[in-house]
Amino acid sequence: MNIMIAGASGGIGTLLTREFDTENNAITLTYKNSRDKLYIPRYSRSRIYQCDFTSDEQVKGAFDEIDGIEVLINVMGHVENELVHRMDVGAWDRVIESNLKTVFLSCRHGITKVVQGGHIINISSILGSMGMIGASNYVAAKGGVESFTKSFALECLHKNRVFVNAIALGYFKIGMGLTLSETIADLIRQKIPLKDFGDPNEIVRLVKYIISSKYLVGQIIHLNGGLRM
């Protein structure tokens, strides 16, 4: 299987790269600034590109080098939290661009490279539908990703027969979930019916289910331990 993970240097990108690093797969990875945090595949054929997914020119250049993608997973993301009345306009713009524009540009250029019957998965957040004090820019961006996914799914199904879905993640023992203070983490756990952050392997299992389906399309799949029902 030919898989591309856009934004692979983060926790979820690393998790998925490790999972799909087998002799049967070819993996394309992208990173923005430093490849130091990348997991370099050992068993699969791999290609690695430095690419700023907020740049139309760079995204086009990266996809120009790639053909026959069966699965494209967009895991780009960035946070700069602040209350609205104190939020710098630059912080708003950077978070919107890093979380929403990146997905738009990846899908815009990637759809020409994804094979018929292939899959695009956009990683979103539970906050896109719940909201959070101090994270209005991130919430707006992830809400945008989910609305974009639904519209783009219709376009792709009609024109290219490509299946587009999104995963809205709750809190997991990986990535941003590990950056929270213990006080904040405890408060969040009390709100989760299962009383704990999720096992990252749940993300892997859901991704595998999505790419095994030929009937799942345009869905925002929530994986959050019951925090949002």
Residue 99, number of CB atoms within 10 A of its CB: 27
Neighbours of 98 (CB within 10 A): 23
**Distance separating alpha carbons of residues 102 and 198, to the nearest angstrom:** 26
Nearest by Cα to 71 from 32, 125, 33, 123 = 123
The residues that are catalytic are 138
Cα–Cα distance list, 181 to 9, 178, 189 (Å): 22, 8, 12
From residue 65, alpha-carbon distances to 28, 74, 141, 153 in Å are 10, 18, 28, 24
The continuous run of DSSP H or E covering 20 comes out as helix 11-20
Tokens (6 digits) for 65 = 């080098």
